A = this chain, B = another copy of it.
Amino acid sequence: MSKEYILRVKCPDRYGIVAKVSSTLNKSNLFILDSAHYGDPENKYFFMRAKLIYSENELDINKFSKFFDKECRSFKMNWSIKEAGYKPNTAIFVSKYGHCLQDLIYRVDSGILPMNISCIISNHKVHEKLANWHKIPFYHVPVNKNNKKQAEKETRKILNELNIDFIILARYMQILSDQMCKDFYGQIINIHHSFLPSFKGAKPYHQAYKKGVKILGATAHYVSSDLDEGPIIDQSVERVDHAKTPKDLELIGRDLESITLARAVKYHIERRVFINNSKTVIFS
Interfacial residues, chain A to chain B (CB-CB below 8 A): 15-16, 18-19, 22-23, 25-26, 31-41, 53, 55, 98-99, 102, 106, 110, 112, 133, 195-199, 210-215, 217, 231-237, 239, 241-243, 245, 251, 254-255, 259, 276, 278-282, 284
In the bound complex, residues from chain B placing their C-beta under 8 Å from that of A40 are 242
Which among B35, B278, B284 is the interface contact of A18 at CB below 8 angstroms? B35
In the complex, the answer to whether B212 meets A195 with C-beta atoms within 8 Å is no
| Smallest CB separation, A214 vs chain B (Å) | 4
In the bound complex, residues from chain B placing their C-beta under 8 Å from that of A55 are 15
Which among B22, B195, B242 is the interface contact of A282 at CB below 8 angstroms? B242
| Smallest CB separation, A157 vs chain B (Å) | 31
Which among B37, B53, B99, B234 is the interface contact of A106 at CB below 8 angstroms? B99
Which among B35, B198, B212, B235 is the interface contact of A278 at CB below 8 angstroms? B212
Show 9 A/B contacts (Cβ-Cβ < 8 Å), sorted by A.
A18-B22, A23-B23, A112-B251, A112-B254, A195-B195, A196-B198, A197-B198, A197-B211, A242-B281
In the bound complex, residues from chain B placing their C-beta under 8 Å from that of A19 are 22-23, 25-26, 31-32
Which among B38, B213, B237, B243 is the interface contact of A215 at CB below 8 angstroms? B237
In the bound complex, residues from chain B placing their C-beta under 8 Å from that of A217 are 195, 215
| Smallest CB separation, A115 vs chain B (Å) | 15
| Smallest CB separation, A158 vs chain B (Å) | 26
Residue of chain B at shortest CB distance from A242: B281
In the bound complex, residues from chain B placing their C-beta under 8 Å from that of A215 are 195, 217, 235-237
